[in-house]
Amino acid sequence: LTTTPRDAYVPIADGGNNQKDKLTHAGIYGVEASIHTLENLYGIKTNYYVRLNFTSFLKLVDLLGGIDVYNDKEFTAANGKHYAAGDIHLDSEQALGFVRERYALSGGDNDRGKNQEKVIAAIIKKLTSTSALKNYNAIISGLQDSVQTNMSIETMMNLINTQLETGG
């Protein structure tokens, strides 16, 4: 995983005509423009994406029964939630506060990006666990109306079956 600050000044692909602007503004031109902008920036090809909004993020974390992350620095977020240092379990609301907070962190947006990476890694770890893989139908049905992706259900099922065959 890597984090690119949302305010990074980069050439915006597609509708942005490769004019430099904040990375976050690529989204004005759609998901494809954001993907192409990052592909151009890093010289990579992105095969698939998953786009979540706050509602779908909350649903996903709830469907997974929460997530576990290591928090480097104790802080209290603007929403009043306190996050102790060390290994912590986050429910959906706590996870959302954890990934959104930047003002209470000494590194600001950079620390927020690191926290976002931790949460994404924790979600991936949970999603690829045998217990989650065996309940993928419930996860997919719970999210299908609120998540945007270019990955077909068939491709997802093939990846799930491969993961299960190799022991999760």
Please give the domain boundaries of the chain with CATH numbers for all domains. 9-46 (no CATH), 51-165 (3.40.630.190)
Q: What is the DSSP letter of 25?
A: G
Contact assessment for residue 29 and residue 15, using Cβ atoms and an 8 Å cutoff: yes
Whether 73 shows a pLDDT value over 70: the answer reads yes
Rounded Cα gap, residues 47 and 39, in angstroms: 10
Q: Which amino acid is at 93?
A: E
- The token duo for 36 is 């192409």
Whether 144 shows a pLDDT value over 90: the answer reads no
β-strand partners of 83? 75
Contact assessment for residue 11 and residue 17, using Cβ atoms and an 8 Å cutoff: no
Contact assessment for residue 1 and residue 120, using Cβ atoms and an 8 Å cutoff: yes
Rounded Cα gap, residues 97 and 82, in angstroms: 10
> Looking at residue 168, what is its pLDDT?
63
pLDDT (tens digit per residue) in 20-58: 999 999 999 999 999 999 999 999 999 999 999 999 999
> Looking at residue 166, what is its pLDDT?
87
